Structure 1
């Protein structure tokens, strides 16, 4: 047990994934249900704590920024939206040129036959959040900018101290009750997926689509770090290496928001100043979703092509542009992006309650964790670039120098 505690987070996550698959496949159902029960309860706790994380980090981050806070908020959201649109467009280009070579309509029946086997937990503990993620985000924006304005006018110190102490409390909760438990949460998730078998059935049929989408995820993230590294003067490959922990955590949790505590440390290891990291990383977890957009665009194109429905770039671009706004905060929950997209699928001719939508959800969920991993990785690349832009351009600090990348983080 002592040796396990000494392992880094990435080895723990890998062990959890392997054990989850083995438990779900080979151990009695009762054992699997035990891990699933824990995973569901912890998931409820995560849902409760995530809005508080957003409130603590984003409010404190904006309040600390002071001058230029509103401008920084605008430029960060704009970069995130443009990145999401570009990712979706690239996904369409890839899908339209590659997928028609190996998609057959006979695969629809095969996927449908693999669905329906689920495993319920022994019991549930509903933990209702004080407010949803979107509400927390809007309130954090409002409070952060207001506190920043008050401090500029020599007021607001009491409120600022309260926000700072709340930030310390949430940070401590993450260190003690979230990050150390993530491997067990991931183990339960993979045990459930392994038991159901539906995920692997879909993967066995759509492995080429899955492979193409994941490769595009990796290429897009790599390009983001190359651009960010070039702009900031940092080694992009060292930055990518430091992001592995965040990437692996996101694969296991399937939640951008649940990966925030790990991703914050990844950003700090990549030389992002604390005030920018505490602002951009939580914000990016709710508004920046290139990985999710790549996945949902590829999956939507697959369904449209299989059913011989219109799938022009103009039609798909209208869906991509809409989802870039509609899916804000959705990646915080596993599968949240595709569920948020359902009301807008009629744009491309797919009814939300149809078998096509069900098939789309199944196809998306098999790749959701990799899309989430691309989302959070891109957040760190953006944070590094925003750090320099904020200090050099918005504040006009010509002598500012970025913190160095930590090459051997603990």
Structure 2
């Protein structure tokens, strides 16, 4: 009953966001004055997200590192490697696609001054290192995400030696912060209505084309990973036609995840599918929950494309070495995006901070992400969740085939 209620809540939120979007467009069409007035709700929504995001990143980082379990079997390691490979490859595909079809955004804010001007990789690395050693309280106050990540990882390792009671407390704190973010996101339809109405009133309806182009690029990259790159990995493992397994995972896992918009909520669906495929339970009972946290090719595409849109908008140039650094950071951020719906959007400021993009601009990009999240977040979750069961199935099937050949 609880799971069904959660699904209904998420589905109703999607419908509410859709109607908020439509109402914002209609309001901007008929009355610019009212559209500008209701824009205060959009500004309020963005400012609340700006306030809660640093705390969210810190708490989730500490909790995930503190609860990490070592000593998993070798086949689990293979599956985890495939998860990370798919996530990193998605970043590369998104990078290439964004350079071939660069996206720029019309941002309401006039404060688009770059706080640092990274001309080369060495300067970016220096900025990165200096940002890491900032006082943790100051980092939270100024939304210094790089420092927040470092302190979160450090505290997480320290808490790994703590008692079960302490780790349970950390989990409760993380759950409380996550619940607060869920509460904030429930007001997304009102915030998006205000954002769309005020944006259209200021910039005109040409901005809708920008959103459509951005969404098309995001979905195109996700289709490339789902239907080309992931099947290539499965073919390499099984040495047979991968598409029957790929389409099975997309149909039975991806379709459900598309509507629930939660990899965690889709864990039972993936476990049922693993049983139907007759996979090794000792493997899938471990790998599928792990996959719900680190199988994030869809999240990495979202983070990469939207951040590069901000970078292109501000005219920041990336050389090859800087692009490699960008890829690594984006992949790491994607693996931390799993705990809440639209979590990938809230990690965009992490990368933006490295390139000197003001937090105000970064959060405006996040707000645009929420506007297109009706399809973006659903497709992202479908890709993330279906990839988790796909690679688990591929490794289990390869292991079973190896045992059969060995017995023969």
- Equivalent residue number for residue 403 of structure 1: none
- 1:43 CA drift (Å): 4.8
2:346 paired residue among 312, 328, 333: 333
What CA distance in whole angstroms lies between the structure 2 residues aligned with 1:293 and 1:5? 29
Name the TM-score, length of structure 1 as normaliser: 0.56
State the Cα deviation string for residues 304-334 of structure 1 (Å, max 9, x = none). 9xxxx9xxxxx87655433202434285536
Give how far 1:15 is off.
1.1
Match of residue 244 from structure 1: 258
Once the 2 structures are TM-superposed, how far is the Cα of residue 236 of structure 1 from its aligned partner?
A: 1.5
Corresponding residue of 1:384: 389
| Contact 1:263–1:376 (CA under 8 A) maintained in structure 2 | yes
Q: Which residue is 1:235 aligned to?
A: 249
For the 8 Å contact 1:297–1:320, the answer to whether it is kept is no
Whether 1:203 aligns to 2:207 is: yes
Q: For the aligned residues, what is the CA RMSD?
A: 5.5
Which runs of no fewer than 5 residues in structure 2 stay unpaired?
112-138, 235-242, 275-283, 335-343
1:53 paired with 2:51, answer no
Offset, 1:285? 5.9
- State the distance in 2 between where 1:238 and 1:178 align: 29
Deviation at residue 243 of structure 1 after TM alignment: 2.1
Q: Which residue of 2 is the match for residue 182 of structure 1? A: 185
TM norm structure 2: 0.56
SS of the residue corresponding to residue 263 of structure 1 reads coil
Change (3 A) 1:185 1:42: farther
Return the alpha-carbon distance in structure 1 between the equivalents of residues 85 and 163 of structure 2: 29
SS in 2 for 1:37: helix
For structure 1, list consecutive stretches of 5 or more residues without a partner in the other structure.
119-125, 148-155, 248-261, 310-314, 344-351, 354-358, 400-410
In the alignment, does 2:295 pair up with 1:290?
A: no
1:256-405 aligned within 5 A: 262-271=262-271, 275-283=286-294, 289-294=300-305, 320-327=323-330, 328-329=332-333, 331=344, 333=346, 335-336=348-349, 339-340=352-353, 342=355, 366=368, 369=372, 373=377, 376-388=381-393
Closer, same or farther: CA 204–178 of 1 in aligned 2, 3 Å: closer
Contact 2:20-2:192 at 8 Å conserved across structures: no
Higher relative contact order (CA 8 A, sep 6+): 2
Q: Is the 8 A contact 2:17 2:189 kept in 1?
A: yes
> What's 1:14 paired with?
15
Q: Distance in 1 between matches of 2:151 and 2:244?
A: 34
Closer/same/farther in 2, CA of residues 45 and 289 from structure 1, 3 Å limit: same
Does the 8 Å CA contact 2:62/2:155 hold for their aligned counterparts? yes
Equivalenced residues, count? 328
Change (3 A) 1:372 1:143: farther
Equivalent pair of 1:203/1:210 in contact (CA under 8 Å): no
